[in-house]
Structure 1
Amino acid sequence: MRAVSPVRIQTLSAYPSGRFKDLVTAMRFRFPSEMRAWQIIAKVIEYSRKQRMGPFLLFFMVFMLRNVESMMNSYFATPSVALLMQKHKPKTIPPGYKAHYFPQVIDHFNHHPQGSKVFYQKYLMNKKYWHKGAPIFVYTGNEGHIDSFAQNTGFLLDIAPKFHALIVFIEHRFYGESMPFGNKSYNSVKYLGYMNTGQALADFAFLITSLKQNLSSEASPVVVFGGSHGGSLAAWFRLKYPHIAIGALASSAPILQFITPPDSFDAAVSKDYKDVSLNCYNVIRGCWDELDSYSNNTHSLLELTDTFKSCKIVGSTYYVGSWLNAAFIYTAMANYPTKANLLKPLPAYPVQEMCKIIDEYPKGASKLNRAFAAASLYYNYSGTQTCFDLEDESYIEGIRGWDWQTCTEMIIPLSSSKESMLKKYSYNYTLHAEACKRRYGVTPRPYQMTTEYGGIGIEKVLKRFGSNIIFSSGMQDPWSRGSVLKNISASIVALVTEKGAHHLDLRAATNEDPDWLIMQRKQEVEIMQKWIDEYYEDYKQA
């Protein structure tokens, strides 16, 4: 498919465009998600015969099916740092941890034969500093392989000696090695139906309870931790299972993103760059018009291939835009004050470094060229790349799982703002729902999460109901706009830092950490110490 020349594609596009659009869209969503590529192609051939299509039109349809698939994946996907971590990092267990597997029930809420079967849920454990009766710190795993989260969450290991804590990282069902139906787990909606937040939280509850019993340490207090979606899970776990966890540290937890203005994420990304340099912001904002001036013909695509140092001939301006957009978004999320390698190796304050590249670029250069130079910092800070794969569609472990979640309960509407520097886009629930229906046969439930865990007016509810939750956020992180940014009560507190980024506080401490980050972590430790002291005092009096 990739060998099709731009000339041939342009020739084929002479067919009526409306027919192509309707035909390809209808064909793509007529196939169940379980079908293999050869089955889809067979269906295309059968359909082409009925429609009396010529061979070139048939060939173009198969080509388009491949591209529609990738574009629909990007449409469904809410930016997920966790999934990109799986793609760019080796999955190795960090030193000091040992992998274990817990026999977990597939369905915690219904009693039927299939749901009563068990699967083996992976969790990591570090007992180096622990003694019986001491606290247990649990990371509530989110959308990815648990090894990656343990590698990037050094805070728990840093504070474990002070508390003599046992550290446990639990993998989320349907991710990593924790597949309820093995290699078939993503093959059918009858399996995917067991993948939801309620089941995942119940997994954590049963595993933690069983672990405490097996360790003969039922009296050990449990504090849950999580970052990003894992942070939301930690907060929800504390609300749902207060008898199991005495408190939660929810870092960069966008529990209110479901009801936050859709353009808030985009506006936050743009603000990060605009605060550094107005010129930088304007250059990135203006590069999209320059990109749109290119057409998908041979000359334009070859020119873009050269400009963006693509390893292969660029097949569409769509891929160039997506490549640029991803660089600016993920750099904002990982705008850490020290060198880091969350997704890719990046310098300290990478947004500032990107803008420095743009501002110091030779005069007379196009905005698109300057945007490319800045984006190259994200993709090639290490200097090892000789070319870029702009159409990288390599498999990201877990993408089908997150796609399912965004089609069922994790309905997070995102759109661009009026002042956005990013490529303009809008959210359309109707189109999203129709696509999910065709893809999985399900209709998204946009109010599922807010009905189960709260949303509008949550501060009034939690003020009287909840307790012992730390919501930590960094305003450099675009997801911060969907988190809790003000104290709700004396024990549900928001620790907000102006220069913090995506769950920065959960990363391991370094010698280069700024004072404000050191202070934030110190506050978190002091609050958790208070929870634990109160727990032991109450336990003695019981």
Structure 2
Amino acid sequence: MAVRVLVLFLCKVSLFLQLGVIVVAEGRFYGFRKFHVDSSQRAGSEEQWFTQKLDHFNGADSRVWKQRYFINESFYKSGGPVFLMIGGEGPANPGWMQNGTWLTYAEKLGALCLMLEHRFYGKSHPTGDLSTDSLRFLSSRQALADLAHFRTVMGESLGLTHSRWVAFGGSYPGSLAAWFRLKYPHLVHASVATSAPVYATVNFPEYLEVVWRSLASENVECPMLVKKASDTIAEHLKDPETFDNVTKDFKYSTFTLFYCVV
């Protein structure tokens, strides 16, 4: 019983701290300059759909699907560059079409702004299911080819083939932005890769070291409490006798618990 109480206490502390980090992160996002939203900018929040190839590396596969994107033309001036915000492992947020430092650059440079959602995320579904056979089409290699095809077709349809295209992204999309410039230099003039881990690695402890330092900046004991809570949950999930208690106490599904702990 005492162990169970300890687990609950530490888990709640851990969840509270994690929620605090999320709130801080959201505060940073909304701290960006927000532009006046006139009728032309509202169009940037409207979903657009691009006909994308399913497999860019199999000429015999002609299957296509609809990929979601957004466009903001309110700052564009003839001869200006094209800014392409790359979507990542989550739904594309149309808020980026009205918020963010990249729009400050767009306003100064007269850029057209586009944002492309990553395949298999948000409303961009290349296949009808998430089976193993379908998920073979989920890769950074295919995602980069999506960007190249999108840039080529949109450049032609908008008359912007010879404009200077600049890719933007942060974290994983930042990596894609850097790789996009490296792999398709004839299509991308420059890339802004923010917090981009460009070297693939199996063991990446630096990712959580940033979280550790953030927690420690508030209270030096916080990181160890969070680690102890996570370790305790992991141990209880490994034991069939205590697994059900954890799922019941937190009202979590098996998948949710696996995702949180891993």
TM-score (norm 1): 0.35
Corresponding residue to 1:273 among 204, 207, 215: 215
For 2:174 and 2:53, locate their aligned partners in 1 and report how far apart those are by CA, in whole Å: 24
User: Which residue does 2:170 correspond to in 1?
Assistant: 227
Rg comparison, structure with higher value? 1
Q: How far apart are residue 162 of structure 1 and its match?
A: 0.4
SS at match of 2:214: helix
Seen in structure 2, the aligned counterparts of structure 1 residues 253 and 390 have a Cα distance that, compared at 3 Å, is: farther
Write the deviation string for residues 390-428 of structure 1: whole angstroms up to 9, x where unpaired. Answer: 3344999xxxxxx9xxxxxxxxxxxxxxxxxxx8x8xxx
User: Which residue does 1:484 correspond to in 2?
Assistant: none
Q: How far apart are residue 205 of structure 1 and its match?
A: 0.9
Equivalent residues in 2 for 1:232-311 (5 A)? 232-256=175-199, 258=201, 262-284=204-226
1:126 aligns with 2:65: no
Instruction: Report how many aligned residue pairs link the two structures.
Output: 219
Q: How far apart are residue 146 of structure 1 and its match?
A: 1.6
Equivalent residues in 2 for 1:345-384 (5 A)? none
Corresponding residue to 1:197 among 140, 154, 166: 140
For 1:287 and 1:167, locate their aligned partners in 2 and report how far apart those are by CA, in whole Å: 43
Q: Is the 8 A contact 1:222 1:244 kept in 2?
A: yes
For 2:109 and 2:101, locate their aligned partners in 1 and report how far apart those are by CA, in whole Å: 13
User: Which residue does 1:212 correspond to in 2?
Assistant: 155
For 1:243 and 1:211, locate their aligned partners in 2 and report how far apart those are by CA, in whole Å: 15
What percentage of residue pairs aligned between the two structures are identical?
31
Q: Is the 8 A contact 2:71 2:97 kept in 1?
A: no
For 1:276 and 1:175, locate their aligned partners in 2 and report how far apart those are by CA, in whole Å: 34
Equivalent residues in 2 for 1:100-139 (5 A)? 100-112=48-60, 115-139=61-85
Q: Is the 8 A contact 1:132 1:220 kept in 2?
A: no
- 1:150 maps to amino acid: W
Equivalent residues in 2 for 1:129-168 (5 A)? 129-147=75-93, 150=96, 154-168=100-114
Q: How far apart are residue 130 of structure 1 and its match?
A: 0.6
User: Which residue does 2:118 correspond to in 1?
Assistant: 172
- 1:142 maps to amino acid: G
Q: How far apart are residue 95 of structure 1 and its match?
A: 3.2
Q: Is the 8 A contact 2:97 2:113 kept in 1?
A: no
Cα RMSD after superposing both structures: 3.8
For 1:103 and 1:193, locate their aligned partners in 2 and report how far apart those are by CA, in whole Å: 20
Corresponding residue to 1:185 among 123, 129, 132: 129
Q: Is the 8 A contact 2:72 2:113 kept in 1?
A: yes
Seen in structure 2, the aligned counterparts of structure 1 residues 209 and 281 have a Cα distance that, compared at 3 Å, is: closer
Write the deviation string for residues 499-533 of structure 1: whole angstroms up to 9, x where unpaired. Answer: xxxxxxxxxxxxxxxxxxxxxxxxxxxxxxxxxxx
User: Which residue does 1:520 correspond to in 2?
Assistant: none
User: Which residue does 1:316 correspond to in 2?
Assistant: 245
Return the structure number with greater strand share.
Answer: 2
Q: How far apart are residue 202 of structure 1 and its match?
A: 1.1
Seen in structure 2, the aligned counterparts of structure 1 residues 285 and 120 have a Cα distance that, compared at 3 Å, is: closer
Seen in structure 2, the aligned counterparts of structure 1 residues 190 and 100 have a Cα distance that, compared at 3 Å, is: same
SS at match of 1:213: helix
Unmatched runs of 5 consecutive residues or more in structure 2: 1-21, 27-40
Q: Is the 8 A contact 1:234 1:248 kept in 2?
A: yes
Q: Is the 8 A contact 2:72 2:97 kept in 1?
A: no
